[in-house]
Structure 1
Amino acid sequence: MTRLPRTLAVLTALLSVAVATPAAADLDDVLNDGTIEIAVPENFPPFGSLGVEGEHVGYDVDVAKLIAKDLGVDLELVPVTSKQRIPYLETDRVDLVISSMGANPTRAKSIWFSNAYAPFFSGAFAAPDLDVTSPADLGGLKAGVTGGTIEDIELTDMVPDGAQIVRFGDNAATLEAYKSGQVDVLVTGNTVAANLASGNDDIDLETKFIIQESPAFIGVKKGDLDLLRWVNVFILHKKLGGELDDLSRKWLGQKLPDLPTL
């Protein structure tokens, strides 16, 4: 007789936990709630960072605002670090992750990914009037790169005879070398190049060629199929309408390149 009440107590406790645990916020839930919570970079400009007026700004922040506008709901931005992105999605702290996140097989075990919405790549950058379109054009030029980086490793296998790779100890030294004219071409990530150009009115950088692609994808919790489908339609619509191109030019200083779909 003592076992039945104890069993009922356990079942009741389990039921209360299940009720208290938030369910996956699929599209209907977001629309009914009237609010969408989106994770954006805490401090990773130009994708997301704290602006001068105390509000978060950046490419990813603007994409989040467009999503909320098209859904017709309020937006709650949740600044996150890289390590927080997937856990926040898995535990329903956020509905979407828009935080310059690349897709790979390991991450895909935990969450779903949308089609790519933003370019993220390593490349060669220089003034628009410098005639460089591929590694073969670097002959006779000095290319500055931070030693030991993926850009350094990849570029070394690409350049022709006569090209000079000048390696520096850190990104700050590499950027300073380009600013001071020690090198003709800057080899780095597109976000680093965009920050350099935006912070220096006398520097006009153009993407000359891409070394390695690593575009960004929107993270969606497993099971939120309707929300994933809506996000993919949203991305297609903003590509065709030019809004993502506008954001790329605004924040990354380049036109939106072709982006992969999943």
Structure 2
Amino acid sequence: MKTNKITRRSFLLGLGAVSAAAVLTACGSSSSNAASGAASGSTASAGGDTVYRTLDEIKADGTVNIGVFSDKNPFGYVDENGEYQGYDVYFANRLGEDLGVEVNFVSTEAANRIEYLQTGKVDIILANFTVTPERAEEVDFALPYMNVALGVISPDSNVITSLDNWNADDQMIVISGTTAETYLVKNYPDIPLQKYDSYATAKNALENGNGVAWANDNTEVIAFAKQNPGYTVGIPSLGSQDTIAPAVSKGNTTLLDWINDEIKSLAEEQFFHKDYEETLVDTYGMDYEDELVVEGGVTNA
């Protein structure tokens, strides 16, 4: 039970901000009038600011709303037929199948992943979401399914191999709300940042020479370099080694526990290795498979 087609509903859900207001019942356990953009019957968190649907509510509705990227090939993108494809989408479809519900894909940007969870616009985020302590204060992460670090890509005419002795007149391209932005602000505050809201606009900025380099997840910049001749990942690993994991609204324990059990169960069939071979191997080849894939939520660290 799954669907990849962009429906009018998913298109509208992927646009604009949503109202965060929710009217709670006297006992504070359920929303009688869910926030604009949130599913009806959403449960309120203990703090009252976050709304979400429990596992039983999702099953009863027959649809799970999953936030994914729509412009980040090969992880989450829309193909020429209007179908969602990619590593995260492959996983999302399996979640829907094992939940016994339809998948409604909601296009998301890096900067609004947390907001979409907190307002009930999505039930799950599967959009290259790197686990960080700061984010874990606002959302609940499930077990990881991929390894990641930061990387820096630049044109072959001026390959950036170090961030030390940076030219103050040069700008680094980043996507707002990513770990690359956070890392650079903290560790290289003197590097001017040129911030964009989406993968597509950051890509266009690099191609148009609006910045000397682009810092992002190394999986993404490596993919870009392989798909676009004329660019080199001069810094393939920057900062700490991290993981990517599904995220749910803070306090949504029933859904979180189900996802964790699912990830553990999928390890028995080496699901994420199969996912890699179906969606990523054309980009990365087989050499990166064991380095990037995490099975059963168990990392090599």
Query: Taking structure 2 as the reference length, what is the TM-score of the superposition?
Result: 0.55
Cα separation, 2, equivalents of 1:197 and 1:239:
29
Separation (CA, whole Å) in 1 of partners of 2:265 and 2:227: 28
Aligned CA distance change for structure 1 residues 65 and 18 (closer, same or farther; 3 Å): closer
Distance 1:226 1:198, change over 3 A: same
Question: SS of 1:65's equivalent?
Answer: helix
Aligned equivalent of 1:57? 85
Q: Aligned to 2:114, which of 47, 71, 86?
A: 86
1:19 aligns with 2:46: no
Which of 130, 149, 156 in structure 2 is aligned with 1:121?
149
Aligned to 2:289: 255
Structure 1, unmatched stretches of 5+, are 1-12, 125-143, 154-169, 174-187, 201-208
2: distance between equivalents of 1:109 and 1:80?
20
Structure 2: gaps spanning 5 or more residues: 1-22, 35-41, 44-51, 153-158, 164-171, 173-179, 188-204, 209-216, 230-235
1:103 aligns with 2:137: no
Report the aligned-residue RMSD: 3.8
The one-character-per-residue Cα deviations of 1:57-87 (angstroms, maximum 9, x if unpaired) are: 2111111111101111101000101111111
Secondary structure of 1:101's aligned partner: coil
Residue 235 (1) aligns with residue 263 (2): yes
Task: Encode CA deviations 1:129-170: one digit per residue, 9 max, x unaligned.
Answer: xxxxxxxxxxxxxxx54553789x9xxxxxxxxxxxxxxxx9
- Quote the Cα distance in structure 1 between the aligned partners of 2:118 and 2:109: 15
Q: Between Structure 1 and Structure 2, how many residues are aligned?
A: 200
What is the CA-CA distance between 1:44 and the residue it aligns to? Answer: 2.3
- Which has a greater percent of helix? 1
Q: What TM-score comes out, normalization by structure 1 length?
A: 0.63
Cα deviation digits, residues 93-112 of structure 1 (max 9, x gap): 11101110111121111110
Letter in 2 for 1:108: A
Asked which structure has the greater CA Rg, the reply is 1
2:251 to 206, 223, 241: 223
Q: How does 1:1-262 map to 2 (within 5 A)?
A: 15=25, 18-21=31-34, 22-23=42-43, 24-122=52-150, 145=160, 148=163, 189-197=218-226, 212-249=240-277, 250-251=279-280, 253=284, 254-257=288-291, 259=294
